[in-house]
Amino acid sequence: MQLYIGNKNYSSWSMRPWVLMTQAGIPFDEVKLRFDAFTPDSKFKTAVQRLNPAGRVPVLVDDGLVVWDTLAIAEYLAERFPDKRLWPSDRRARARARSVCAEMHSGFGALRNHFGMNIEAQLPEVGERVLREEPAVRADVDRIVAMWTELLAQHGGPMLFGAFGIADAFYAPVVMRLRTYGVPLPAAISAYVDRVVALPGVAAWIADALAEHDFLPFEEAYRSQA
């Protein structure tokens, strides 16, 4: 299989299936399509549209089958590798895991807009200002904290549904954002963040992101190159 992704420092959508497959031990070849711009004539858009008419990453290719969108990729992998138990085995827990992944997939717009993923950066001053000035971001953070608190208590940790699975991979980019912007967290949630960061699949993504040294001004409108 081949997984087409964008820059690891910035591409939160790409991070989800890459971490999922790496952490679960599903073999694949990585193909990185560097972000140069998102205009229709950019090299990135031209390259990705050869595979995905929507013009976005990630894209999974398996023996000629092209699957795009993170939820579709996750569901395909869960069916393709049932032994990996990417969804919880319990039917009710599985439905809940799908619900929280769908919520991540379609929600938290304020957090996404104001806390862009940037793994190499440390921007607590930006985080403090945004949390002070943007109630919608505070509401998104509060919802995530409440969700994680409930799931960790219900399933006993160390991951959201006990063992690592799709839900943890889907929220791994949120973990990156919370760290970058220095968002204050309750002790139990901070401990979960630390456990996610320590996962081999996540640690490998972070290491690759830090090694890129590929500053993209259009991804960092909130600061200048320094």
226 pLDDT more than 70: no
Domain ranges of the chain: 2-84, 91-208
Using 50, 70 and 90 to split pLDDT, how confident is the model at 170?
Answer: very high
38 pLDDT more than 90: no
Collect all residues with Cβ–Cβ distance below 8 Å to 119 and sequence separation of at least 6: 8, 9, 176, 180, 206, 209, 210
What integer is the mean pLDDT of 92-117?
96
pTM score, two decimals? 0.94
The per-residue pLDDT for range 118-155, each reduced to its tens digit, is: 999 999 999 999 999 999 999 999 999 999 999 999 99
> In CATH terms, is domain 2-84 a member of 3.40.1390.10?
no
The per-residue pLDDT for range 186-225, each reduced to its tens digit, is: 999 999 999 999 999 999 999 999 999 888 877 776 554 3
Sheet with 65-68: strands ordered across: 29-32, 2-5, 59-62, 65-68
Architecture per CATH, domain 91-208, reads as: Up-down Bundle (1.20)
The per-residue pLDDT of the chain, averaged, comes to 95
